[in-house]
Amino acid sequence: MANKPKIGLVLANVPAYSETFFNSKIKGLQENGFDVILFSSSKSKVSHPTCKTIFAPNFDLRFSLIFEFIFIFINCLKNLKATYKLLKLNRKDGLSVKSSIKNIFINSHFLPYKLSWLHFGFGTMALQSENVAKAIGSKMAVSFRGFDLYIYPAKFPNCYQLLFSKNVIYHVLSDEMKNTLIEYGVSAESINKITPAINVDFFQPSIKYETKNSVFQFITIGRLHWKKGLEYTLEAFSILKKQNIPFHYTIIGEGIEREKLMFAVHQLNLHSNVTFVGKISHNDVKNILEKSDFYIQYSIQEGFCNAVLEAQAIGLLCIVSDADGLSENVLHEKTGWVVPKRNPPLLAERIVKTIALSEAEKIKIRENAMDRVKREFNLTKQMELFKAFYSF
């Protein structure tokens, strides 16, 4: 293809090997005739292995600051038209001359590139860059994934006021997120829902599924962060322990809440029932999933959650909270169960009821979930939707 459509993807960090969503998206776009340039704010400056990587200026290192400014100055001179247009757009938005120039410095790494789309991978990445796409003559897209739409604005009210006034096409993970943007005044026609997807060929059971453990095996995968609701989950399991229900709960992932959660395990007397595995490979995750019976995702806030899709694809019975996109990920009493968040007794009650189901009832739910994930949340379907997205 002589003139490949160029997509500039803006992320805070270069996706690691384990970050399958962005890596799958980059690979899929490349295989479908798109040229992808990754723009990153990473300080490590380790490039992505499969696409050109451009790094934002680093103003933190004093000894190299003069070289950054020289590079920025040369960049602006070489791209004078885009620089001047960005200055005019910033001034039109009411920024002072000083703030407008500072904004040009922040966005100088975008100026040399002629792109079909400049796509900010998270809403927060678009802050202070609301005018740069128009300045370089590209269309602008912004993805919202959860934290950036629900938690960040709670800390910084009106942070997206300028962004929402611009001509932007938005990507969201769920109808819930689409409705939230509409409440902010964003036009429904400019919002596209494209859910996460997984490798359904990899995440499928290697054995016929059944509840096979005399000690019921539960699992959660995710960052050890307060929004994952893990403390509420542990409180629910403490109720099960008091009822003498035999269980073991495995938590896969690392994060800032590990010490707090380990102390909760201590206070709730769950030492022999809970294991923190830490961060492990996809193959190891799949192996543990296959040895488990139930998956729990009792989050306080959750954009959608790939791990729940993976668990359903493997054949686990999934119990999730009603946080944001989870009730679209799991269909209540059809492919799993949805429980109101922040209510450990209610979660415990649901777990007990699920354990008590007949094997025939469990098989029906499992098969419904596996079929739906394979049909609706595969990478091929997702890429077709993104191809349509960039044809807007």
pLDDT, tens only, 207-220? 666 656 689 999 99
Q: DSSP readout, 126-177?
A: GTT-TTHHHHHT-EEEEE--SIIIIIHHHHSTTTTTTGGGS--EEEESSHHH
Per-residue pLDDT for 175 more than 60?
Answer: yes
- pLDDT for residue 45: 79
- CATH class of the region 216-376: alpha beta
Domain boundaries, the chain: 6-55+113-197+379-389, 216-376
pLDDT more than 90, % of the chain? 74
Residue among 262, 269, 256 at smallest CA distance from 222: 256
Residue 389, Cα to own-chain centre: how many angstroms? 18
The whole-model pTM stands at: 0.89
Residue 372 has pLDDT above 90, yes or no: yes
DSSP 255-304: -TTHHHHHHHHHHTT-TTTEEEEES--HHHHHHHHHT-SEEEE--SS-S-
Two tokens, residue 359:
């094997």
Taking the C-alpha atoms of residue 186 and residue 160, their distance in angstroms, rounded to an integer, is: 11
pLDDT tens-digit map of 69-95: 777 888 888 888 999 999 999 999 999
Pairing of strands 274-278, 169-172: unpaired
- With 70 as the cut, is the pLDDT of residue 61 above it? no
Summarised one tens digit per residue, pLDDT across range 257-307 is 999 999 999 999 999 999 999 988 888 999 999 999 999 999 999 989 999
Q: What is the mean pLDDT of the chain?
A: 91
Could you read off the pLDDT of 125-160 as tens digits, one per residue? 999 999 999 999 999 999 999 999 999 999 999 999
Crossing angle of helices 97-106 and 80-92, in 10° steps, is 130
Which of 51-60, 63-72, 92-101, 169-178 comes out lowest in average pLDDT?
63-72
Q: Which residue has the higher pLDDT, 206 or 370?
A: 370
**Rounded CA separation 289/7 (Å):** 35
The reply to whether domains 6-55+113-197+379-389 and 216-376 share a CATH topology is yes
Question: What is the end-to-end Cα distance of the chain in Å, rounded?
Answer: 20
For 6-55+113-197+379-389, CATH number? Answer: 3.40.50.2000
Backbone angles phi and psi of 377, in degrees to 5? -125, 40
Distances in whole angstroms, Cα of residue 313 to Cα of each of 33, 70, 119, 276: 29, 52, 30, 23
Per-residue model confidence (pLDDT) at position 64: 62
Per-residue pLDDT, 1? 43
